[in-house]
Chain A
Amino acid sequence: MIELYAISDDPAPPDPPLRAVPCGRLTALCGPASEGAVTAETLWRHEEIVEGLMETRNVLPVRFGTVLEDERAAARAVSGRDAQLTASLDRVRGAVELAVRAQPREPSRDAPGRWGTGRDYIAAKRRRTAEIRMVRESLATAARDSVVQTESEHLRAAYLVDRDAVDDFARLVRRVQRAHPGLDVLCTGPWPPYSFAEAGEPA
């Protein structure tokens, strides 16, 4: 069994034990499938392999746990979706994913008089959703694309950012954090562009 790590249009062979499997115009980057129980360490290992590949080429990252029979099966799976995968690869070319989380910095949830009147409660809800929306919108201006997973009082979003614009994006996050002292804003990365790899696939 082999595990699929990433898809690229660069046929250069990766460091062993990874192998480049030609699939028409594309290349599937595979390695021996990991065995045993899934732990945080195995997830990190997968992540490190994909990130290693990402350092030297443009890749479409494949999610953890994509195991195939053999290289022929991998070639078939990739060639069959050639056009879609090429379009997705073009979309993420030269960019990485940055993950952003923002949430209200709360005084302890059971602090007495947290809200006061019904009006206060509604006003607090509004302030929070408006603040989260502002954060999302200002960050989107510095990204090529974005995917919002949740947004109301908490923001969980992925931004597709040009490789050479990562530092600028991080600076913007810090500015946004200063402008919204009532929120905790966390930005992590750079990650392989997982959230943008599957766009254009049939639902």
Chain B
Amino acid sequence: MRDKVLAGPLELDPFAPDRERLENTLTRRVNADPESVERGLAQLVLTIVELLRQLMERQALRRIDGGTLSEEQIERLGRTFMELDRRMEELREEFGLTEEDLNLDLGPLGRLL
């Protein structure tokens, strides 16, 4: 394959999950064994949860920018989102999903997240 990298870090590993995702898409077959059905369902549910989490986080940042929150409230919001972020990571790991797996390609509308 020709080299298409015009500029990038020496180590391209951080971008590798994309390639894996492409390969999975290409070889995906309808697979009805219980384990993959469970994983598919988890992927769908976690995608929705991740969408809500990101929306709430952005909303919270806007409220903080609004300047109406006390220091303590800001700290609490931050902790809550930190905890959610961590928890999502654990769930993703549990089901063997990457961050990219929780993103849906909506065609002409772009990506969900």
Contact = CB atoms under 8 A, between A and B. Distances in A.
Q: Which of A120, A122, A170 has the most CB of B within 10 A?
A: A122
How many interface residues does chain B have, given as a range?
20 to 34
A169 B82 CA distance: 37
A164 to B, nearest CB: 14
A152 B54 contact: yes
A125 B65 CA distance: 13
Contacts of A177: 7, 9
A142 interface: no
Contacts of A44: 1
Given A101-B15, A152-B54, A170 B6 contact: yes
Contacts of A98: 6
A72 interface: no
Secondary structure of the A contact surface, majority rule:
mixed
Nearest to A173: B7
Contacts of B79: 117-118, 121
B83 to A, nearest CB: 9
B9 A118 contact: no
How many interface residues does chain A have, given as a range?
35 or more
A187 interface: yes
Contacts of B33: none
Contact of A122 (B74, B89, B111, B113): B74
Nearest to B60: A122
Contacts of B5: 186-188
A142 B111 CA distance: 25
The 10 closest A-B pairs by CB, nearest first: A118-B78, A118-B79, A186-B8, A173-B7, A170-B6, A121-B82, A118-B75, A122-B78, A187-B7, A188-B4
Interface of A: 38-40, 43-44, 98, 101, 103, 105, 109-110, 115, 117-122, 125-126, 149-150, 152, 156, 166, 169-171, 173-174, 177, 184-191, 198, 203
28 contacts: A38-B26, A39-B26, A40-B23, A105-B9, A105-B14, A118-B74, A120-B78, A121-B85, A122-B74, A125-B57, A125-B61, A150-B110, A150-B111, A152-B58, A152-B113, A166-B6, A170-B6, A173-B6, A173-B7, A177-B9, A184-B14, A185-B8, A186-B15, A187-B5, A187-B8, A188-B5, A188-B6, A191-B4
